[in-house]
Amino acid sequence: MKGLAMKYLLTLYSAPGAEPAPGTTEFDAMMGEYFTLDEKMKGVATFVAGEGLQGIETATTVRKRAGKVETMDGPFAETHEHLGGFYLIDAPDLDAALRYAAEIPAARYGSVEVRPVMEY
């Protein structure tokens, strides 16, 4: 997968409580899928970076309006699904990025948004 020119950001969203609960067999199986995803998708796309995020209760949103900085506890967007993590991958095209995204367990419990990364 050398020389791929396009990076894609895959953001993982799910509703609270939609995924299996930690400590269950189902949760352990789901986490196993996350840990083996890179190996499973060799030849489709290359993992560059990725992490899960702490819960929305730890979020702080920053805005700057008319020169004044405002901070707010929690995420700014009103939505039922919360951003839970991300993957940054190299892929030859959007179709390959979508194939990778479809294998992320979060796609079963919520959604995975796929966006090309602008390179300056």
In the chain, where are the structural domains located? 14-55+68-116
Q: What mean pLDDT value characterizes the chain? A: 87
User: Is the CB of residue 6 less than 8 Å from the CB of residue 103?
Assistant: no
| Cα-trace Rg, the chain | 16
The confidence score (pLDDT) of residue 80 equals 74
Distances (CA, A) of 76 to 15, 40, 84, 106, 120: 16, 35, 15, 21, 27
Residue 4 has pLDDT above 50, yes or no: no
Residue 22 has pLDDT above 50, yes or no: yes
Instruction: Output the six-digit token pair for 68.
Output: 């004044």
Residue 3 has pLDDT above 80, yes or no: no
Q: 14-55+68-116, which class in CATH? A: alpha beta
Strands 60-65 and 68-73: antiparallel
The confidence score (pLDDT) of residue 10 equals 95
Q: What is the pLDDT of residues 41-99, one digit of tens each?
A: 999 999 999 998 888 788 888 888 888 988 878 766 666 778 889 999 999 999 999 99
Ramachandran sector of residue 63 (left: φ over 0; alpha: ψ -120 to 50; beta: rest): beta
Distances (CA, A) of 100 to 12, 47, 64, 89, 105: 12, 10, 36, 9, 11
Q: How far apart are the first and last CA of the chain?
A: 22
50 SS3 class: strand
The confidence score (pLDDT) of residue 75 equals 64
